[in-house]
């Protein structure tokens, strides 16, 4: 009887160990699952609000999905405005597509996040993307990213989430659109 009892205990321990083993081994996501998760994070993170040009409707601007995440359109004229409006304590201005922003930092234009190799993120590695989001510097060591790019929040995501976002961005159609360089604070008036 004692023998059977010992055998029963050993079997139970064995099955519990197998069960734990099965339960603990992390399930690896397929590429499709990773991209789907990245898409959800991009929608939730509001990337389209700033990086996708808009179409104006009676209910306000809606993302133009034919230009998904392609950044500030290169051919859009920069509107005239009085730079005194964006002095500290006054206004931050954006155009009706919210791809162009004016503030005390000058003018910033949202980047092309599509995988176009010369004007988008086509030549970026995952490491480039993660370092940029974590440090707020271009490619992790270049110039500081300008407002209102919310890298401070995006950079708190874990590696798996940032990997998913990057996988999604690399999966969308590439769009050739060379976004203008930022304009320092003293210069927007020169455009008048
Ligand atoms: C409130 C507006 C806004 C939102 C929301 C936003 N961005 Fe940006 N983003 C910008 C602006 C403006 C720039 C250009 C900054 C500059 O030129 O320094 C930028 C630049 C970038 C760059 C280029 C950085 C570089 O070094 O060239 C990447 C990559 C990027 N954003 C990714 C994202 C992702 C991913 C999301 C969503 C999770 C997102 N952004 C949400 C405004 C925004």
DSSP code string of 48-62: HHHHS-EEEETTEEE
Q: How is residue 55 annotated by DSSP?
A: E
Q: Which atom of ligand 1 is nearest to the CA of 132?
A: 26
CA of residue 189 to ligand 1 center, whole Å: 24
Three-state DSSP at 63 gives strand
* Pair 54, 91: CB distance under 8 Å: no
**Cα Rg of the chain (Å, integer):** 24
pLDDT at position 95, please? 95
Query: How far is 35 from 165, CA to CA, in rounded Å?
Result: 7
Residue ID of nearest Cα to ligand 1 atom 7: 149
| Pocket, ligand 1, Cβ cutoff 6 A | 42, 45-47, 49-51, 101, 108, 110-111, 113, 132, 138, 145-146, 148-150, 154, 165, 182
Q: Which atom of ligand 1 is nearest to the CA of 45?
A: 38
Instruction: Write the pLDDT tens digit of every residue in 21-77.
Output: 665 666 889 999 999 999 999 999 999 999 999 999 999 999 999 999 999 999 999
Q: How is residue 80 annotated by DSSP?
A: P
Block means of pLDDT (10 residues each) for the chain, 192 residues, are: 68 60 73 98 98 96 97 94 89 96 96 98 98 98 98 98 98 98 74 46
Q: Which atom of ligand 1 is nearest to the CA of 182?
A: 17
């Amino acid at each position: 009887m004692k023998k059977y009892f010992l055998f029963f205990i050993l079997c139970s321990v064995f099955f519990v160990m197998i069960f734990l083993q099965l339960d603990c081994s992390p399930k690896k996501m397929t590429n499709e699952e990773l991209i789907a998760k990245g898409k959800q994070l991009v929608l939730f993170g509001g990337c389209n609000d700033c990086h996708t040009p808009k179409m104006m409707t009676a209910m306000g601007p809606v993302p133009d999905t034919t230009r998904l995440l392609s950044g500030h359109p290169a051919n859009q004229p920069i509107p005239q405005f009085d730079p005194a409006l964006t002095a500290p304590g006054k206004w931050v201005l954006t155009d009706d597509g919210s791809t162009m922003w004016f503030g005390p930092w000058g003018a910033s234009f949202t980047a092309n996040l599509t995988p176009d190799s010369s004007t988008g993120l086509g030549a970026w590695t995952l490491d480039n993307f993660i370092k940029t989001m974590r440090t707020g510097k271009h490619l992790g060591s270049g110039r500081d990213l300008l407002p209102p790019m919310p890298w401070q929040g995006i950079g708190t995501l874990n590696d798996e989430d940032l990997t998913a976002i990057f996988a999604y961005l690399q999966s969308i159609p590439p769009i050739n659109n060379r976004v203008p360089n930022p304009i320092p604070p003293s210069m927007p008036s020169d455009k008048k």
